[in-house]
Amino acid sequence: MTNQEIIAKLPYSKPFLFVDEILHINENGVEGTYYFDENLDFYKGHFKDNPITPGVILTEVMAQIGLVCLGIFLLDDSFNKATSIALTSSEIEFLKPVFPTERVTVISEKIYFRFGKLKCKVIMKNKKGEEVCTGTIAGIMVSKSEIN
């Protein structure tokens, strides 16, 4: 599966798609990027006259690149429209702010993938290579029929 095919399989669309490109992916991890356009809606109110990317959005970027893209790659052909992905836990430490017009790189390393649960150590870096947040994120991938 190509990197573009993985992005196309993501269950998100603009304005909630936070993956621009996958730089590298294999069975042990993934590296990808996202650019924070200054016109994104959440900047209008977070914070007045001093826009900063909300931590929940940084967590979502880390999860989409570091967990969901890797999960799609690991499931390969068994990932389809009948598959659902849910975040089960996250522990993120925020170290530096991310401002509008910044491009970030997310680097994820698989801790384990078994019984449909994927857990990863995820780091987000800014263009200077500085860590802006780090932590662990876990999610479960199941058939949508198992949820209903």
Question: Strand pairing of 117-125 and 21-26?
Answer: unpaired
Catalytic residue among 9, 46, 117, 121: 46
In single-letter form, the type of residue at position 58 comes to L
58 within 8 A of 92, measured Cβ to Cβ: yes
3-state SS, residue 19: coil
Cα gap 25→139, rounded to integer Å: 18
46 carries an active-site annotation: yes
Question: Strand pairing of 131-143 and 29-35?
Answer: unpaired
Residues annotated catalytic, as ranges: 46
